[in-house]
Amino acid sequence: TQLLEQSPQFLSIQEGENLTVYCNSSSVFSSLQWYRQEPGEGPVLLVTVVTGGEVKKLKRLTFQFGDARKDSSLHITAAQPGDTGLYLCAGEVFYDYKLSFGAGTTVTVRA
Amino acid sequence: DADVTQTPRNRITKTGKRIMLECSQTKGHDRMYWYRQDPGLGLRLIYYSFDVKDINKGEISDGYSVSRQAQAKFSLSLESAIPNQTALYFCATSEGDSQETQYFGPGTRLLVL
């Protein structure tokens, strides 16, 4: 059983549409991170959220950390083919000093 | 040059063989990690090291061992490879602060026949 549950597992949308990926847990995290991974490469950090209720924006990407620090979401506005990839959430439990990863959401944006 | 390198990038081996995957970093980070990635399971931690004299088991360490030869080098060994160890293996490093970023290598694709 994974500490972080991501949904959906797969998402295929048309260019210009919006999408949301969810990351949920019953555990409380000191911080939560989102990574993006492209084929043949390792994951690359997109953002870290650390405060309950925090919202961070990175161009067309909006990240939210739940008030209770148990969940997070990633919203992409007007998706582009370049957004295609595997999106992974990862959480650090207080004083654990390690990351637990979700299973990932594979996003495909069709031109 | 890449900050975190892994060798080999691809490896095919047979059941029962011993193999070693190597990781080197030029970021000067103390913390290093080994993960495996399987479809639908995400990244799972095998071993991690917070400095040269520190080795810790992760959630799936059975069948694996590691060696931290220097701050910059962290090797993963499969003592007797089995087919269910077929996976994509990633090395990562971090500075050691809270809310830390992990920097990943490009991965090693391992196939055990």
Digitized pLDDT (tens) for each residue of chain B, 113 residues in all: 569 999 999 999 999 999 999 999 999 999 999 999 998 888 999 999 999 999 999 999 999 999 999 999 999 999 999 999 999 999 999 987 666 789 999 999 999 99
Predicted pLDDT at A93:
83
User: Searching chain A, which residue's CA lies closest to the CA of residue B59?
Assistant: A100
Q: Mean pLDDT of all residues in chain A?
A: 94
pLDDT band of residue A60 (cuts 50, 70, 90) is: very high
Q: Are strands A105-110 and A10-14 parallel, antiparallel or unpaired?
A: parallel
Give the Cα separation of B21 and B34 in Å (integer).
Answer: 10
Once rounded to an integer, what is the mean pLDDT over residues A15-32? 95
Give the Cα separation of A84 and B16 in Å (integer).
Answer: 38
Predicted pLDDT at B98:
64
Give the Cα separation of B21 and B8 in Å (integer).
Answer: 7
Predicted pLDDT at B2:
66
Which tokens sit at A18? 């919006």
Q: Do B42 and A102 touch (CB under 8 A)?
A: yes
Q: Do B90 and A42 touch (CB under 8 A)?
A: yes
pLDDT tens-digit readout, A64-100: 999 999 999 999 999 999 999 999 999 988 777 789 9
Predicted pLDDT at B81:
97
Decide if A9 contacts B75 (C-beta within 8 A).
no
Residue A69 CA neighbour count, 13 Å, CB half: 15
Give the Cα separation of B69 and B2 in Å (integer).
Answer: 20
Q: B 31-60 residues with CB below 8 A of A?
A: 33, 35, 40-45, 48, 50, 58
Give the Cα separation of B39 and A11 in Å (integer).
Answer: 15
Once rounded to an integer, what is the mean pLDDT over residues A2-30? 94
Kindly give, in sequence order, each residue whose CB lies less than 8 Å from that of residue B62, ignoring residues fewer than 6 positions away.
Answer: none
The backbone region for A16, taken as left when phi is positive above 0, alpha when psi lies in -120 to 50, beta otherwise, is: left
